[in-house]
Structure 1
Amino acid sequence: MRSIKAPTTTTLAIEVYKPRSCWRMMTDSQQFRSIVGFHQDELGDWIATLSCGHTQHVRHRPPWELRPWVVTEEGRRKYIGWPLFCKKCQDEETQR
């Protein structure tokens, strides 16, 4: 993940594994959690386990979801420790 400074000095986080046209910019980097592991669901899709305990699918389904690294063991191993936006943490924070 790369961070850049916007003119307002707000830090924007960019998920670098997505193509440039699909980069998602977030202003609240608190909701990013480290990937701590992977497992497959009953359909064979890969799921990332995050440091917060939540899980998130990380599919490679071109052209909509481009994550070629998830289809190999070596690719998944390289992404251990990488930050991933956790929607569940964001939703929990919003409900408080």
Structure 2
Amino acid sequence: MLQAIVGFHQDEEQHWVADLACGHAQHVRHDPPWQNRPWVVTEAGRKGKLGAELNCLKCGGAVAPK
């Protein structure tokens, strides 16, 4: 289920996590070549993604909720 990004925070390992409108969170790592998200490493890049939608795996039932 697509959910809008409403903010970002870093986890205990300093990886970036997107806060979603549904209340869930999703990692948005820049870890080439597996995950190519260079926008996440700058404040301007993260601000530019506010409102963008990500597929929430928890809302979609692909991951058991905690």
Taking structure 2 as the reference length, what is the TM-score of the superposition? Answer: 0.92
Gaps of 5+ in 2: none
The partner residue of 1:62 within 29, 32, 40 is: 32
Aligned length: 62
User: Is the radius of gyration larger for structure 1 or structure 2?
Assistant: 1
Q: What's the C-alpha RMSD, in Å, of the aligned pairs?
A: 1.0
Q: Which has the higher contact order (CA 8 A, sep 6+)?
A: 2
1:75 pairs with 2:58: no
Higher helix share: 1
Q: Distance in 1 between matches of 2:24 and 2:18?
A: 9
Regions of 4+ moved over 3 Å: none
1:43 pairs with 2:9: no
Q: Percent of counterpart pairs with the same letter?
A: 58
Taking structure 1 as the reference length, what is the TM-score of the superposition? Answer: 0.63
Output the amino acid matched with 1:46.
W
